[in-house]
């Protein structure tokens, strides 16, 4: 959660036993853009390589890492030019890391 009222809203949610993470808006924005890159790139790869036998996100990440890195670099430059947000270094690793993480590892695209 970020924004002007983040502290007050987070406090109310915590009183209801809800987990809330308060963070800087710039950090949150970068994190959401990385997740958007992940969803866009892996969705495209899943469609293009639908008949190749890759059934999970981690298989796509392992078999097509060069394509993923190229697309991340290209889209990162576009984000920097259009939205004036510079993604941090090693964004390619973090995007591939999302596919290899416990939340997405065994999921099918």
Which tens digits make up the pLDDT trace of 11-24? 999 999 999 888 88
Evaluate if residue 84 carries a pLDDT over 80: no
Asked whether residue 79 is domain-assigned, the answer is yes
Asked whether residue 65 is domain-assigned, the answer is yes
Asked whether residue 105 is domain-assigned, the answer is no
Higher-scoring residue by pLDDT: 78, 84: 78
Number of domains in the chain: 1
Domain extent for 45: 24-100
What's the CA angle centered on 41, arms 19 and 31, to 5 degrees? 30
**What digits encode the pLDDT tens for the residues 25-82?**
888 888 889 899 999 999 999 899 888 777 788 888 888 889 999 999 898 888 887 7
Residue 44 is predicted with a pLDDT of: 92
Packing angle between helix 65-83 and helix 91-100, nearest 10 degrees? Answer: 120
Asked whether residue 17 is domain-assigned, the answer is no
In whole angstroms, give the CA distance from residue 29 to residue 42.
20
Higher-scoring residue by pLDDT: 68, 2: 68
pTM assigned to the model: 0.75
Residues 39, 46 contacting (CB under 8 angstroms): no
Asked whether residue 2 is domain-assigned, the answer is no
Asked whether residue 74 is domain-assigned, the answer is yes
Asked whether residue 106 is domain-assigned, the answer is no
Asked whether residue 1 is domain-assigned, the answer is no
């Amino acid at each position: 959660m970020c924004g002007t009222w983040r502290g007050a809203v987070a406090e109310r949610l915590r009183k209801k036993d809800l987990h809330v993470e308060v963070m800087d808006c710039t950090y949150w924005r970068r994190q959401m853009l990385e997740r958007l890159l992940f969803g866009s790139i892996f969705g495209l790869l899943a469609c293009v390589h639908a008949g190749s036998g890759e059934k999970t996100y981690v298989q796509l990440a392992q078999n097509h890492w060069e394509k993923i890195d190229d697309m991340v670099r290209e889209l990162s430059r576009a984000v920097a030019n259009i939205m004036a947000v510079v993604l941090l270094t090693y964004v390619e690793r973090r995007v591939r890391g999302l596919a290899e993480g416990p939340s997405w590892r065994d999921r099918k695209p």
